[in-house]
Amino acid sequence: MWNFTGKSVLITGGGSGIGRQIALDFASNGANVAIIDIIEENGKKVLQELKAIGKGKYLFHKISVSDKKAVDQAVINIINEFGDLDFLINCAGILRDFLINKFNEDYWNQTIDVNLKGVAICMQAVVTQWVNKSLTKAKERGEKYLPVLENPPKVIVNISSMAADGNIGQLAYSASKAGVIGMTLTAAKELSRYNIRVHAVKPTLIDTPIIGDLLKKDDGKFKKMYEEKIPFGIGKPEYVSDVVCFLCSEGGFFLNGCVIPINGGKLDGL
Ligand code: NAD
């Protein structure tokens, strides 16, 4: 469906759910794929799946996205191994829900650390490499900047959530996901001069391990409620991956700073 031959992608949270699906889709469409995940067992499993699908190079780094030193080093290693990096997909995330009157400071800190700071850390690590390369080339030519389209096209897609618009019990999560949108739009404005496009997607409820036993809760009543609330039903990881792949594809070359609701047809939040 897509042609990512000769391209390389880094996907955080690639060991499970949406990140895993994006990794498989990039691999089956010809890309070299690097994944970062905190769970070694899952990362290694996905690495095996990638090797079974494609003929590219595949890497797994077991690190936390909120560990700046580790991320900076991993990005350097990945670029050395692949020769370059074309796409960054920030997918790693955690859910730590609490009601406002039951504020949990540990949950708040953990959520912001991974979902918000983690995205900032991964963006800065990759963007620093891209910008340095561009500025070095410009300098060699005696110019301050390269003409925009002489930079090879690069794309960042950040996975936000419909919870960014507010959701009961998700004070920390919605703050982190709304923050991701703010960072996305800042990066989109700041980086367009380097031909770097930055987008966010806002999925509704997608059936992945992050929602844990929620779909089994109350004898399936919770699942039924969401199936009724979302016109096209509870989502699958593929529905998110398809949009991410489009944004990274050649067809997405004229887009920047898009915040796309992957909403299953529901227009008023989760
Ligand atoms: P998931 O739990 O299946 O995947 C999340 C992955 O992130 C896991 O592999 C986990 O190990 C990894 N991770 C967690 N903390 C990390 C860290 N500090 N460093 C590196 N990796 C870490 O869940 P998912 O549904 O695939 O979630 C992917 C993204 O989509 C998340 O950002 C999530 O908030 C977002 N999202 C999910 C839904 C949904 O309903 N599933 C809806 C909207 C947005």
Task: Give the separation between CA 25 and CA 4, rounded to whole angstroms.
Answer: 10
Residue 190: per-residue pLDDT:
98
Q: Which residues contact 207 (CB under 8 A, 6 or more apart)?
A: 215, 234, 235, 236, 237
Is 173 part of the annotated catalytic residue set?
yes
Confirm whether 250 is domain-assigned: yes
Q: How confident is the model at residue 222 (pLDDT cuts 50, 70, 90)?
A: confident
- Token couple for 131: 């910008």
Do residues 64 and 38 touch, judged by C-beta distance below 8 A?
A: yes
Name the domain count of the chain.
1
Note whether residue 268 is domain-resident.
Answer: no
In a domain, 86, yes or no: yes
Give the number of the atom of ligand 1 that is nearest the alpha carbon of residue 36: 20
Mean pLDDT of the chain: 97
Ligand 1 atom 23: residue of nearest CA: 210
What pLDDT sits at residue 182? 99
Gap between the Cα atoms of 43 and 24, Å rounded: 12
Q: What is the pLDDT of residues 49-91, one digit of tens each?
A: 999 999 999 999 999 999 999 999 999 999 999 999 999 999 9
Is residue 269, in this structure, part of any structural domain at all?
no
Q: Are 116 and 176 in contact (CB under 8 A)?
A: yes
Whether ligand 1 lies within 6 angstroms of the CB of 208 is answered as: yes
Ligand 1: centre distance to CA 12 (Å): 9
Strands (E), 121-236: 154-159, 196-203
Residue 208 Cα to ligand 1 middle (Å): 8
Is 15 part of a structural domain of the chain? yes
Q: Decide if 258 is inside a domain.
A: yes
Confirm whether 48 is domain-assigned: yes
- Percent over 90 (pLDDT), the chain: 94
Structural domain contains residue 23? yes
In whole angstroms, give the CA distance from residue 21 to residue 142. Answer: 43
Instruction: Give mean pLDDT, residues 105-128.
Output: 98
Instruction: Assign residue 210 the CATH number of its domain.
Output: 3.40.50.720
> Which domain, by its residues, includes 22?
8-262
